[in-house]
């Protein structure tokens, strides 16, 4: 099968399920133009993670809301209908996500608070344990009583339960207790790259069994040995396609500013080694595939004889389906 031309890509919804951000100013948000120029139709923008305090997350959220609201070419959306409307207007649709439930400050009511402000997905624990559950780089003791209550609250308000960055036991228990499909917004296959942040086939299979989607990221340490190549990222996508079927695979690149433009990132990592243990992160100089590579991923999948319908699902159709089932 031939390459995917630009006109064909225009007809495909491109949904990036997670963008890694350190939001400190409007300047940081100007990076969104990279996704827009790459043809991304919907982007989930991270506004906080467990390393930060809950009020830092709220501050970043308010900053992002203001910037998106006043910047031409972008729309903050509440549901998939508004995504379609934004795309018809030529705008990129934006919603937010939070990595870790420290942002809730122990209060279930904060779930509704964040949802009302545009947060549409949240994961339990960023690498290490917290009040809700276990992280992938910690002694995972599973989903806590508070964590189970949060799942029920997220199901009730219409927020996607995300299991990326979480420990094995926590992910299994979350998927077993959720009444809605659960996602791994940006988690690669441990079968291809043996890293603590990647997930086992068993986790991916259960995610698919309950109707969820696994998003593949482009972080160099999780793709391969300092590897951000389109070929290797597509290998992870193909692994999931073969394992769970074409309805349950997507993309969550986790693209972030180049490290050289984040002078405080190395300091953040060195001061929080419990979040990023040296055994798993021998260098803080992480790299990530760029949004422009999404087109290359589509072309590579077609060259590997995957049907256009499969490619459409991976690029965005599958995450759109789950969002339409969960968001309210």
Which CATH number does the domain housing residue 20 bear?
Answer: 3.20.20.140
Confidence (pLDDT) at 9: 58
Q: State which residues form the domain around 253.
A: 6-326
Q: Is 53 within 8 Å of 24 (Cβ atoms)?
A: no
Q: How many domains does the chain have?
A: 1
Confidence (pLDDT) at 265: 62
Using DSSP, state whether 175 is helix, strand or coil.
helix
pLDDT bin (cut points 50, 70, 90) of residue 261 is low
Q: Is 74 within 8 Å of 124 (Cβ atoms)?
A: no
Average pLDDT score over residue span 4-19? 76
Confidence (pLDDT) at 131: 98
Closest C-alpha among 279, 197, 193, 199 to residue 232:
193
CB-count exposure of residue 52 (10 Å: 0-12, 13-18, 19+): buried
- pLDDT of 259 above 90: no
Using DSSP, state whether 165 is helix, strand or coil.
coil
Within a domain: residue 165?
A: yes
| Alpha helix positions (H), 117-257 | 145-157, 168-177, 201-209, 220-223, 230-244
Identify the H or E element spanning 109: helix 109-116
Within a domain: residue 186?
A: yes
Within a domain: residue 1?
A: no
- Which residue is associated with the tokens 């991923």? 297
- pLDDT of 5 above 60: no
- Which residue is associated with the tokens 């917004």? 185
- pLDDT of 19 above 50: yes
Q: Quick one: tokens of 259?
A: 């490290």
Mean pLDDT over each residue of the chain, to the nearest integer: 93
Within a domain: residue 185?
A: yes
Within a domain: residue 164?
A: yes
In this structure, of 23-32, 203-212, 232-241, 266-275, the range with the lowest mean pLDDT score is 266-275
pLDDT bin (cut points 50, 70, 90) of residue 11 is confident
Q: Quick one: tokens of 322?
A: 């789950």
Helix axes 168-177, 145-157, angle to 10 degrees: 50
Residue % of the chain over a pLDDT of 90: 84
- pLDDT of 246 above 60: yes
Angle ∠(245,185,112) on CA atoms, nearest 5:
125
Confidence (pLDDT) at 3: 46
């Amino acid at each position: 099968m031939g390459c995917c031309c630009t006109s064909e890509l225009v007809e495909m919804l491109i949904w990036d399920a997670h963008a890694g951000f350190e939001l400190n100013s409007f300047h940081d948000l100007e990076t969104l133009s990279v996704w827009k120029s790459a043809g991304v139709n919907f982007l989930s923008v991270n506004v906080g993670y467990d390393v930060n305090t809950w009020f830092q997350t709220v501050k970043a959220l308010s900053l992002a809301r203001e910037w998106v609201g006043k910047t031409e070419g972008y729309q903050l959306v509440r549901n998939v209908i508004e995504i379609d409307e934004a795309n018809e207007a030529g705008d990129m649709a934006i919603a937010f996500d939070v990595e870790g439930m420290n942002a809730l400050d122990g209060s279930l009511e904060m779930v509704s608070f964040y949802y009302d402000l545009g947060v549409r997905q949240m994961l339990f624990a960023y690498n290490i344990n917290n009040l809700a559950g276990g992280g992938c780089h910690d002694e995972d003791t599973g989903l806590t009583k508070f964590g189970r209550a949060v799942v029920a609250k997220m199901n009730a308000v219409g927020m996607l339960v995300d299991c990326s960055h979480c420990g094995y036991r926590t992910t299994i228990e979350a998927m077993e207790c959720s009444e809605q499909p659960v996602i791994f917004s940006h988690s690669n296959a441990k079968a291809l790259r043996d890293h603590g942040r990647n997930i086992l086939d068993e986790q991916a299979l259960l995610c698919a069994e309950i109707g969820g989607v696994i998003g593949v990221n482009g972080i160099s340490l999780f793709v391969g040995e300092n590897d951000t190549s389109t070929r290797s990222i597509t290998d992870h996508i193909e692994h999931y396609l073969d394992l769970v079927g074409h309805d349950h695979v997507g993309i969550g690149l986790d693209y972030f500013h180049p490290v050289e433009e984040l002078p405080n990132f190395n300091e953040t990592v060195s001061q929080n080694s419990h979040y990023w243990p040296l055994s798993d992160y021998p260098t803080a100089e992480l790299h990530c595939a760029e949004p422009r590579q999404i087109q290359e991923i589509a072309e590579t999948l077609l060259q590997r004889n995957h049907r256009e319908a499969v490619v459409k699902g991976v690029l965005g159709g599958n995450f759109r389906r789950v969002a339409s089932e969960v968001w309210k």
